[in-house]
A and B are shown apart, each in its own frame.
Chain A
Amino acid sequence: MKGKETAESREGTTDNLWGMYINLLYVIVLSVILLFVYMAVRTDIDSYLNRKIYSAEELAAFQQEAEARERSRVAEMNWDKVVDGIHIRTGLHDDENLQIIIGTCTSCHSAKLITQNSASRDGWKSMIRWMQETQGLGQLGKNEPVVLDYLAKYYAPVETGRRKTLDMAEIEWYELDGE
């Protein structure tokens, strides 16, 4: 009986030992998992612990910066944006009377018909008469001198003689391999 008990108790000891090993294994596995979890969130924890506390002034500056960005975004989309004296949407020269020009001229034809042409005040006047006689343009009334002044000011002819020299500023030079 006694021997049997010893064998049993010996068996029990072995069981305890296995239990310890398994517990130890649990602990190791758990630690590894915890380590991974820690590594994964370490930077977040760090950044939380080291977070910058903004002052009211700094927060106000952020707000201003955001508003400025929004304003420039709206300006980008601005229908009447002007760069270097040129009204971007139409390509026309900017002027205090620009909206009158846009309203009078571009409801029927492209502004490009103005920007690619040049003429004296009389020349522009004859074009307006031609549009009135043949293209259904109505009377311009008090806007006519405004329109003519504008056109004669910004789109006057440039003397080029019998034939102009090739425009050096327009040429894009490039290397060409001959034979």
Chain B
Amino acid sequence: MSDKSKHKLVKNRRDFVKKSIMVSVASFVGLPVVFAKNFPEGLIPAGILDGTLPPGLIGKSDKLIVLNDKPINAETPAHFLDDALTPNDLFFVRNNGIPPVKVNIEKWTLTIEGEAAQSSKTYTLSELKTKFKQYSYNLTLECGGNGRSEFYPPAKGNQWSTGAVGCAKWTGVRLADVLKDVGFTSKAVYIGYYGADTHLSGDPTKEPISRGVPIQKALEDECLIAWSMNDKDLPVLNGYPLRLVIGGYPASASGKWLNKIVIRDKVHDGQKMKAPAYRLPCDPVAPGTKVKDANMCIIENMPVKSLITYPKTGAMISKGDKVEVRGKSWTAAEQVDKVEVSIDFGESWIACKLEKSANRYAWQPYSVQIDFPKKGYYEVWARATDTEGRKQPMVLPGWNPKGYLNNACHRIAVKVQ
């Protein structure tokens, strides 16, 4: 399909989603919603907010590119990630199932149990908020499959380009504090989460996703059980009313609509923990290789990466004009150490001004003034290096069957005339 018709379809799909919201409203209220087409974008009828209506792209900007609507998967174009923290309505959505439509926050509970738990405890939201000290961290979440669309041979799944990433201020309690309150034995190896979302097939016995992290990771200070994003309630599509936020790992480790955590005495075996989901070949393979499940290893840390968030690709500037290039960089290591840009296809690199992050796993803004020497076509490439010395590759990193962890440098096109 040509890109043009793809765009047209995206637009049609948005119209369709809007129309279907209106149809849902009409059928629930029992009356047609007059002037549905004039209904302002972003203004969602109350019935959807209180959970009596099924959510579509509820609470999300129409600037997102919808890759999939069942389940909902939508990414943020790079130039809409220019804010210091990603606004809630622009934060990408990666759903595996159907979000819960009826959420009663008075009755919402989180249960902690499992083979390696010393007891089983259940907390209400208000117990979590009052019993434990609250923390806020700026944490970057990136889907393990971000950038998948570039792999060849292609990998199946949502064809994310660059926008399955965002960084928000998350507020909640430390996962470690809650795990310690329950208590766990020395046999604890892993934690696994369960959420209130339901499987696409409608089969209530099937979990859409139930992943987790090693216990050592779960005990890090920055791992939160969060109810707030940028000082607001979590968006419905990002896990309202409660979720995990695990910085530095694939975002699939940060379970949404969280209602249960299990402390396991073995690697968690929930949905999408088993191969090939969220796994790489344990040893690197040639493109297109079929890899046995036994030779696929769980992805832990996400690689160092950056995006150019200004200018938007396609800028035409006048010769002699200087342009500020800026963006975001992030890593699972301690910090991003430097970001450089190239305007000559990688032959030379220009160092950028890089801000330190407020805490580990927060993305770090960078900027640089660029002087284009003569008329013509340019690409601006950005490359981050983290404190462990890891750099972004200019071509695709190691091919893998499921197309994970593409951290190849971001490129935008610029013309000087």
Q: Give A contacts to B, CB under 8 Å.
A: 84, 86, 88, 91, 93, 108-110, 112-113, 115-119, 123, 127, 135-136, 157, 159-164, 166-179
Which residues does chain B contribute within 8 Å of A84, judged by CB atoms?
5
Contact, CB under 8 Å: B4 / A169: yes
What is the chain B residue whose CB lies nearest that of A110? B70
Q: Residue B159 contacts which of A88, A116, A123, A163 (CB distance < 8 angstroms)?
A: A116
B313 on the A face (CB < 8 A): yes
What is the chain B residue whose CB lies nearest that of A172? B314
Contact, CB under 8 Å: A116 / B67: yes
With contacts A163-B408, A169-B3 taken as known, whether A127 is within 8 angstroms of B156 at the C-beta atoms is yes
Q: A136-B206, A157-B152 are in contact. List 15 more A-B contacts (CB 8 A).
A: A86-B1, A109-B200, A112-B67, A116-B68, A135-B201, A136-B201, A166-B379, A171-B314, A174-B316, A176-B311, A176-B316, A176-B317, A178-B318, A178-B323, A179-B323
Contact, CB under 8 Å: B158 / A116: yes
Contact, CB under 8 Å: A178 / B322: yes
Measured between alpha carbons, how far is A34 from B9 in the docked complex, in Å?
A: 62
Which residues does chain A contribute within 8 Å of B201, judged by CB atoms?
108, 135-136
Contact, CB under 8 Å: A173 / B9: no
Measured between alpha carbons, how far is A168 from B150 in the docked complex, in Å?
A: 16
Interface centre among B150, B315, B324 (most CB of A within 10 A): B315
Measured between alpha carbons, how far is A179 from B325 in the docked complex, in Å?
A: 12
What is the chain A residue whose CB lies nearest that of B159? A116
What is the chain A residue whose CB lies nearest that of B412? A166
Which residues does chain A contribute within 8 Å of B203, judged by CB atoms?
136
Q: Kindly provide the distance from the CB of B115 to the nearest chain A CB, expressed in whole angstroms.
A: 24
Q: How many A-B residue pairs have CB under 8 A?
A: 111
B14 on the A face (CB < 8 A): no
Which residues does chain A contribute within 8 Å of B157, judged by CB atoms?
117
Which residues does chain A contribute within 8 Å of B66, judged by CB atoms?
112
Q: Residue A159 contacts which of B13, B71, B152, B321 (CB distance < 8 angstroms)?
A: B152
Which residues does chain B contribute within 8 Å of A108, judged by CB atoms?
200-201
Contact, CB under 8 Å: B68 / A162: no
Per-position 1/0 for B1-24, Cβ under 8 A of A: 111110001001100000000000
Q: Kindly provide the distance from the CB of A120 to the nearest chain B CB, expressed in whole angstroms.
A: 8
With contacts A112-B68, A162-B395, A164-B150 taken as known, whether A117 is within 8 angstroms of B9 at the C-beta atoms is no
Contact, CB under 8 Å: A86 / B5: yes
Interface centre among B4, B70, B311 (most CB of A within 10 A): B70
Contact, CB under 8 Å: B69 / A112: yes
Which residues does chain A contribute within 8 Å of B158, judged by CB atoms?
113, 116
With contacts A86-B1, A162-B395 taken as known, whether A176 is within 8 angstroms of B323 at the C-beta atoms is yes
Measured between alpha carbons, how far is A157 from B156 in the docked complex, in Å?
A: 11
Q: Residue B152 contacts which of A91, A127, A160, A172 (CB distance < 8 angstroms)?
A: A160
Contact, CB under 8 Å: B68 / A175: no
Contact, CB under 8 Å: A173 / B316: yes
B169 on the A face (CB < 8 A): no
Measured between alpha carbons, how far is A117 from B67 in the docked complex, in Å?
A: 10
With contacts A175-B316, A176-B323, A178-B322 taken as known, whether A157 is within 8 angstroms of B3 at the C-beta atoms is no
Within 8 A of A (CB), among B308-364: 311-318, 321-324
What is the chain B residue whose CB lies nearest that of A122? B290
Contact, CB under 8 Å: B396 / A162: yes
Measured between alpha carbons, how far is A168 from B411 in the docked complex, in Å?
A: 12
Contact, CB under 8 Å: A179 / B396: no
B51 on the A face (CB < 8 A): no
